[in-house]
Every structure is written in C-alpha cells, then in structure tokens.
Amino acid sequence: MSASAMVDAQRLSLMLNELRLPAIKHMWADFAARADKEGWPAGRFLSVLAEHELAERALRRRERHMAEAHLPAGKTLDSFAFEDVPMISKAQVMALCAGDSWLEQGANLILFGPPGGGKTHLAAGIGLALVENGWRVLFARTSDLVQRLQVARRELALESAIARLDKYHLLILDDFAYVTRDQAETSVLFELISARYERRSMLITANQPFGEWNRIFPDPAMTLAAVDRLVHHATIFEMNVESYRRRVAQRKRAGAGRPG
C-alpha cells in the first residue's frame, strides 16, 4: 500500500469512528479488495457495507436488550414441556411471541397456577422469545421491584422511576402474590399498574386467583381497581397442574435409573 493510500485509510478509520460505524471500519478493506478484484459497481460496494453495519447493530442491540432483561437462565420455550400443561396451547404461545398483536396495544398476560406449575418458566420463555424478536423486556420478582419503587418513593423519585420502566415493552412480574400486605408496598404496586394501563404491557405470574387478591391489596376498592386494569385487555392462562418441577425431577430420576 502506498503512503498516500495508508494516509487515506487512517483518515477513513478516524471518520468511521466519528460516525460510529464500527462494523464498516473493521470490514471495509476486505470488501474493497474484493470489489476491486470482482469489479463491483460503487453502489453494490456501499450497499454491502451498509447491510453488514445494520446487521451488526441489530446483533449488538439484541445483546444489550438480553442483558438488561435479567431473564432467569435456561428457561426457554424449547425446554418447556407443553405436553405436561395440556391447557396451554403451544400455537397460541408462539403467536404471542411475535408481540405486535398485543404489546403495541399495551395488553397484558396473566399466568395463574399452583407453585411448581411452570409459570415462571413459561413467562421467562416468552420474554426471551420477545427479546429475540426485537422487543424490550424486564423480568423481576414482584417483591424486589416493589422494594426498589419504595426506595424511589422515599427519595421523592417514584414518578421518574416508574417512567423509566416505560422503555420496556413488557414488564414481567413474577410471584405477584408474594408481596406482603403492607400499605406502602401495595400502594406503589398499584401506581405501577395504573401508570402502565393501556400503554405498556405486563406479564404477571400468581399462585392465587383474583378472588384471593384481597390478601395483596388491603383495600377492597384498590383490589377491584387493580384487577380491572389488569384484566381489561388481557390473555389469562390457568395452569392448574401438579408440580411441573416435581414431574421433571421424576423423569430425570427415571432416566438415570435406566440401563444403558
């Protein structure tokens, strides 16, 4: 490479840094050599570089969204035993994973069932699929998120804390019914539900049906208002099966005992 070509390459590298085009910066020289060798027109050369830059951006964005989602490891739809939860339609779940039919409308998804029934696994699997499809998701234990919102309230920053959650198309609240029946906790939880109503979606897993939510919200009017907002645009799955975890463990033990 001549001295002038080296200077041009260095200037181009600096400009691509300034323009924040890292993929093009790393691959333009290889594609330029290929374009010279194969006689590509300028339009094709630029198109290929732009295509690779967009693909790399999409990959980096997906990686960022995956990291911020805080989804529990290993809980995917591929590893979810749909055959053990016959009341759940796999086709319906897969349709929900596209997201555009309900997340754009701020609709909700509610999973009811006893402990060990697979609610958390299914919720996390749906969340993972949505992230892979370009949506932003946050998974949190309800009690943990409520504690963070309480801290924000004490610091007079509750409104801004709830507003920051708006960047997530879906907020997954796991173990909803484990919030203690405390006026301060249920108050911030109700404010979160009200703030997201018809704007941003929520996925809730809960052991108790709505009729027992008076154990969560101490005020009957608040209970009714919370249920009304969550159910208004919601898909509800009732997973009334024996412990999913127990069945999986039994299958593993049975498999370990089989002769080779």
Are 13 and 130 within one domain? Answer: no
Domain range for 24 is 3-68
Residue given tokens 């796999």 in the structure block: 90
Max CA pair span of the chain: 80
For the stretch 94-123, pLDDT in tens is 999 998 889 999 999 999 998 888 999 999
Are 60 and 126 within one domain? Answer: no
Q: Is residue 22 part of a domain?
A: yes
d(CA 250, CA 98): 33
Q: Is residue 255 part of a domain?
A: no
Q: What is the mean pLDDT of the chain?
A: 87
**In angstroms, how far is the first alpha carbon of the chain from the final one?**
63
Q: Is residue 253 part of a domain?
A: no
Most confident of 6-20, 30-44, 65-79, 243-257: 65-79
Q: Is residue 259 part of a domain?
A: no
Are 17 and 101 within one domain? Answer: no
User: Any alpha helices (H) in 83-205, and if so which ranges?
Assistant: 90-96, 119-132, 142-154, 158-164, 183-196
Q: Is residue 213 part of a domain?
A: yes
Are 197 and 221 within one domain? Answer: yes
Are 243 and 205 within one domain? Answer: yes
Are 154 and 92 within one domain? Answer: yes
Percent with pLDDT over 70 in the chain: 88
Are 112 and 33 within one domain? Answer: no
Are 42 and 61 within one domain? Answer: yes
For the stretch 148-194, pLDDT in tens is 999 999 999 999 999 999 999 999 999 987 666 566 677 898 999 99
Is the model more confident about 242 or about 28?
28
Are 145 and 201 within one domain? Answer: yes
Are 59 and 22 within one domain? Answer: yes
Residue 236 pLDDT more than 70? yes
The pLDDT confidence band at residue 124, using thresholds 50, 70 and 90, is very high
Polymer length of the chain = 260
For the stretch 190-232, pLDDT in tens is 999 999 999 999 999 998 888 777 777 777 888 899 899 999 9
Residue 260 pLDDT more than 50? no
Helices and strands counted in the chain (H then E): 10, 5
Q: Is residue 257 part of a domain?
A: no
Decide: pTM greater than 0.85. no
Number of domains in the chain: 2
